[in-house]
Amino acid sequence: MKILIVEDEEMIADFIELGLEKAGYQCQCVYNGNHAADLLENNHYDLILLDIMLPGIDGYELLEYVKEYEIPVIFITAKSRLEDKVKGLKLGADDYITKPFELAELTARVETVLRRYNKSPGIINLLGLEIDIDSRTVKQNEKLIELTMKEFDLLLVFIRNRNIALFRDRIYEEVWGGELDTESRTVDIHVQRLKKKLGLEGAIVSVRKVGYRLEV
């Protein structure tokens, strides 16, 4: 999957690029609207992450130009007012994320939009596992591994955020919803069971004072 990041703040663009490339995407950054329009004429992209306040052509104007290429667009912007979000979605953006944001949330939204356009693979092969997202099954050496619903959801969270350190409360929110009780060991117990079932003891590592990371 090739993603075009259109963001005039280079530090933010580099942060997004680094995170998404760790998650397995190929990214290209551009820092103004005119240059982005030029790139669209000669390159193929599966998704565009688009800031609104850009030099040259702004994000709203560029979105109109993008429509003829039929590429999904996610706005990433500091414009957090409801009317700005409504305007962006009405113009045709597929999602709208306000700054600041967590990389884990961005990665999840990217995958959601790509799957909506049938661009994200239904089957993922990783670490000797064959994960079928549609049938929610996992195979290892052609053998079906039985996972509970929550264990499968937990595996998907790690896959979508591979090589990214995830806080326990973020994992809990993604898998169970709501806020994590500080005394709860739900996340730790499920992670340990998942590691044992799939033989991922060396791949899912503990991150001190944070949570866990799937290393690929």
Give the tens place of pLDDT for each residue, 149-180.
Answer: 999 999 999 988 888 889 999 899 889 988 88
Within the chain, all domains assigned CATH 3.40.50.2300 are found at 2-116
* 122 has pLDDT over 80: no
Give backbone dihedrals phi and psi of 125, rounded to 5 degrees, phi first. -110, 115
Average of per-residue pLDDT values in the chain: 90
Q: How many helices (H) and strands (E) does the chain have?
A: 8, 12
Res. 196 pLDDT band, cuts 50 70 90: very high
CATH of 123-214, one of 1.10.8.10, 3.40.50.2300, 3.40.50.10110, 1.10.10.10: 1.10.10.10
**Residues 68-121: pLDDT tens digits?**
888 999 999 998 888 888 998 999 999 999 998 888 889 888 988 988 887 766
Can you say how many angstroms the Cα of residue 126 is from the centroid of all Cα atoms in its chain? 17
Q: What tokens were used for 96?
A: 């709208």
User: What pLDDT is recorded for position 160?
Assistant: 81
**Residues 17-72: pLDDT tens digits?**
988 887 778 999 999 999 999 999 889 999 999 999 999 889 999 999 898 888 99
User: What pLDDT is recorded for position 16?
Assistant: 93
- Range list of H helices, 117-207: 149-160, 168-175, 186-198
- Using CA atoms, how far apart are residues 84 and 75, in angstroms rounded to an integer? 11
Beta strands in 44-192 (DSSP E): 47-50, 73-77, 95-98, 123-126, 129-132, 137-140, 143-145, 166-167
Q: Which of 55, 62, 52, 36 is nearest to 85 (CA)?
A: 52
Q: Write down the pTM of the prediction.
A: 0.66
Can you say how many angstroms the Cα of residue 55 is from the centroid of all Cα atoms in its chain? 26
User: What pLDDT is recorded for position 103?
Assistant: 84
* 211 has pLDDT over 80: yes
2-116 belongs to which homologous superfamily?
A: Response regulator (3.40.50.2300)
Within the chain, all domains assigned CATH 1.10.10.10 are found at 123-214
Torsional sign, CA 32, 34, 35, 41: positive
Is 113 in contact with 105 (CB distance < 8 Å)? no
Which single residue is written with the structure tokens 């998942």? 194
